[in-house]
Structure 1
Amino acid sequence: MNRTLVTSALLLISAVTLPGNLFAEQCAGQQATIIGSEKKDRLTGTEGDDVIVGLGGDDKIDGRGGNDLICGGDGDDKIKGGRGNDQLYGGAGNDKIFGGDGDDFLDGGAGNDKLSGEKGNDQLKGGPGKDKLSAGPGDDLLEGGAGVDTLYGEHGDDRLFGNGGDDRLYGWTGNDQLDGGAGNDQLFDRGGDDTMAGGEGDDRCQGLHDFGAQSGEGEWQSDIRPTPESQSWSGCETLFK
């Protein structure tokens, strides 16, 4: 197998194709087929199944088609899975990761990351840091990890787990499961047949109506309004409407 070594700093200007045995770079145990540098790279996959490793620098990576495996490495990376069932790892740094079409797995790693599953039934993991996770259409699984995280369900029957830290969890229109875990969490529900569990800590639970909308790069704007609906709640020290 041949592999591509990117030698440009900002754009994919030139590349050198070398025998695969000269490369030791891997992503989740798989040998890389496209490799960046320690600088700012722009890496683009093929329509097939790629294994892309960004290494250092603030990279922009687009997997395009196929079931891709992408590791951003160090730096503040922007990763797009594109079409296919992709596995996307941000690594160290404050990363932005977008799943695209397909059933994707997104792992922010260390840093303050923003993850968006987009289309498909996706799994999102925040890791250490102050992360923002948004589900997208489909039945998704969101896990905040350590740190103060914000998790947004969307359309579909989503499962949101804050885990450690003082987290904020928002259900949406499907039949969602919200679990704050350890920490002083806040759980918000828009509708549907939802289950809310505060977990350990001094937690607050609230039913909502139209709490916000997503824009551009995964940013959210909150507009919280009370609703008389009551759902299934447990472990919530404070219930407010």
Structure 2
Amino acid sequence: MRQQRAVGLSTIGLLISALLAASSAQQTPDSHLQSVLTQMDRTAANFHTTQATFVWTQYTKIVDETDIQKGTVYFRRSGNQVEMAADISEPAPPKYVLFTGSKVQVYQTKIDQVTEYNTGKDRAAFESFLVLGFGGSGQDMLKSFDVTYLGTEGLDGVDTAKLDLVPKSTKVRNTFNHIWLWIDPARGVSLRQQLFAPNGDYRLAAYSDIRLNEKIADGIFRLKTTGKTKFLSPNG
């Protein structure tokens, strides 16, 4: 039950927030922030694929409980769209999350079940939230967030630029009232993300062994289901 809740909160929380996201007028960044955003723009312009090892930590305040998941996440641009696959190897048994087309699929191997969420007409909004710090441009980020430069912070031997993001949409703030990103200024990618919920919950994602624009096998973006796999679609 604890492991299922972690998958649900980390995946579906992002989905809900993204589908509610609204664009607004852009802010005028200061010089330090502008430098980081410019590098993110360059990375986004040349983005094809990203692969990284992750540690996802989900903290639930009401029960003072922490769930940790580890694995590998993959992103690739396919035409004008971005696909994502996450191989959650720990804790066992493995789980898989896949975002292709207009669907987010969560495959739980233990019960041999795939739960599908259709993003429909809100696909672009979900994608922009998904690639935050991983192939998303700085200028696009300013459309949905008020961004503040918090200075530099050492992380895994890198002097990262720490950014605070506050969603411009009130509805999004009801899910995540603010987000911290630790950006590698040389590569324009996120080494760490922390999403804070108003109720005191948070989701911390730490990334390492980040590989940019290396070939990723097509099979990574297909679920390896069985002939008996059950498929559920809660939102049609």
Name the structure where helix makes up a greater proportion of residues.
Answer: 2
Q: TM-score range by the shorter chain?
A: under 0.3
Structure 1 or 2, whichever has the larger Rg, is 1
**TM-score normalised by length of structure 1:** 0.26
RCO comparison, higher one (Cα < 8 Å, 6+): 2
Name the structure where strand makes up a greater proportion of residues.
Answer: 2
**TM-score normalised by length of structure 2:** 0.26
